[in-house]
């Protein structure tokens, strides 16, 4: 576990300043105090108060998602949640789980047994056992990228996929693209469904028909491109919109292996703006989700539920990030 010294080294400040930051002393700036707290959370430092037995506890359950490294999608979501929860002296456990675990343990029972006051569920699929249990849970629960109707104990947090995909389609159309393909992530996910619907809606709004061979569902992994790209190319796609950055990395790689240049021969767009996307070759045009803020909003919504304020939905705006993986469609002669 990190010590005060680790925090001081990371921030390049004295031990005394770290201590002031952790203890809320008033003779350092608010910005510095926040930086100390945020770094303490990121490095896993625990205050004496948090180590005490019987401390109030929250649990983040994570499934189908990488989160241990800063460049992975889940990292900042968990970090943002923990940073916000830390300020209110919550102890947060992060628990990766599986469908099998959900079949074995009832959600409410698990929470009660382990003394958790609330849960933040990240990366769950629609058919997961706990998702159906959430319809009637009495445990305050914030859900990332999933929505439960009617239950006042459950809150949905996410990014507005519709606005994000609209930005992408408008961008590609303004560059002259018409034959636009969409390689989306896994079926049985609310967010996959939203992005797919958004793709159809946006294309329709611009009077462009969508042929079946231009829409494919793989998984949110780099290998998805292999199976779908050949069909897109066969039908003359000039741009590929991807359901995530990771899928886009695969598409760029697959294009290169086939001797196609990105963006000269084909434009590629991602979704998420993971840290590596600024450094791909070429740098990826994508839609940014502010994952730190999504985590913080997850905590805020959960705190609301714990205090009997039922926020049904919190949506963050996506930000369109134009880099070099998209360019003007050069008309064939």
Q: Which spans of this chain sit near its own copies (rule: CB under 8 A)?
A: 149-150, 152, 160, 163, 166, 290, 293, 296-297, 300, 304, 309-317, 319
268, containing H or E segment? strand 267-269
Q: Looking at residue 123, what DSSP letter applies?
A: S
Residue in this structure with the two tokens 């199976």, named with its chain if needed: 227
Cβ proximity to its own copies: between 137 and 228 the closer is 137
Residue 285: cis peptide before it, omega within 30 degrees of 0: no
For 141, the 3-state DSSP assignment is: strand
Q: How far is the CB of 203 from its own copies (least distance, A)?
A: 17
Q: How far is the CB of 166 from its own copies (least distance, A)?
A: 8
Specify whether the CB–CB gap between 165 and 241 falls below 8 A: yes
Cβ proximity to its own copies: between 159 and 228 the closer is 159
Cβ proximity to its own copies: between 217 and 310 the closer is 310
Cβ proximity to its own copies: between 261 and 317 the closer is 317
Cβ proximity to its own copies: between 89 and 98 the closer is 89
Cβ proximity to its own copies: between 157 and 247 the closer is 157
Q: How far is the CB of 93 from its own copies (least distance, A)?
A: 25
Distance between CA atoms of 324 and 326, rounded to whole angstroms?
A: 5
55 C-beta neighbours (distance < 10 Å), count: 14
Q: How far is the CB of 135 from its own copies (least distance, A)?
A: 13
Specify whether the CB–CB gap between 120 and 305 falls below 8 A: no
Distance between CA atoms of 282 and 268, rounded to whole angstroms?
A: 10
Q: How far is the CB of 65 from its own copies (least distance, A)?
A: 22
Tokens encoding 18 = 């770290």
Q: How far is the CB of 129 from its own copies (least distance, A)?
A: 24
Q: How far is the CB of 112 from its own copies (least distance, A)?
A: 23
15, containing H or E segment? helix 15-23
Distance between CA atoms of 216 and 226, rounded to whole angstroms?
A: 12
Which residues are paired to 330 by β-bridges? none
Cβ proximity to its own copies: between 260 and 316 the closer is 316
Specify whether the CB–CB gap between 104 and 133 falls below 8 A: no
């Amino acid at each position: 576990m990190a010590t005060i010294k680790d925090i001081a080294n990371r921030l390049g400040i004295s031990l005394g300043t770290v201590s002031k930051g952790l203890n809320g002393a008033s003779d350092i700036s608010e910005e510095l105090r926040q930086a100390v707290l945020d770094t303490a959370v990121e490095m896993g430092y625990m205050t004496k108060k948090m180590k005490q037995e019987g401390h109030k506890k929250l649990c983040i359950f994570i499934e189908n998602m990488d989160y241990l490294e800063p460049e992975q999608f889940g990292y900042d979501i968990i970090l943002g949640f923990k940073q916000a929860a830390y300020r209110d002296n919550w102890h947060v456990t992060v628990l990766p789980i599986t469908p099998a675990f959900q079949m074995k343990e009832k959600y409410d029972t698990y929470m009660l047994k382990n003394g958790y006051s609330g849960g933040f569920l990240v990366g769950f699929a629609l058919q997961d056992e706990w998702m159906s249990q959430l319809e009637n849970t009495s445990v305050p629960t914030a859900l990332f990228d999933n929505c439960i109707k009617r239950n006042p104990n459950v809150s949905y947090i996410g990014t507005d996929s519709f606005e994000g995909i609209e930005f992408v389609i408008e961008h590609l159309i303004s560059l002259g693209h018409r034959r636009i393909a969409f390689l989306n992530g896994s079926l049985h996910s609310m967010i996959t469904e939203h992005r797919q619907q958004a793709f159809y809606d946006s294309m329709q709004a611009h009077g462009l028909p969508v042929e079946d061979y231009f829409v494919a569902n793989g998984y949110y992994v780099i290998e998805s491109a292999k199976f779908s790209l050949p069909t897109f190319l066969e039908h003359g796609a000039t741009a590929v919109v991807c359901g995530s950055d990771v899928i886009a990395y695969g598409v760029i790689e697959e294009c290169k292996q086939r001797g196609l240049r990105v963006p000269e021969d084909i434009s590629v767009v991602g979704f998420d703006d993971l840290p590596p996307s600024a450094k791909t070759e070429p740098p990826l045009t994508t839609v940014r989700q502010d994952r730190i803020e999504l985590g913080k909003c997850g905590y805020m919504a959960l705190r609301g539920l714990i205090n009997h304020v039922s926020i049904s939905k919190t949506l963050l705006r996506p930000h369109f990030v134009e880099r070099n993986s998209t360019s003007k469609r050069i008309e064939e002669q």
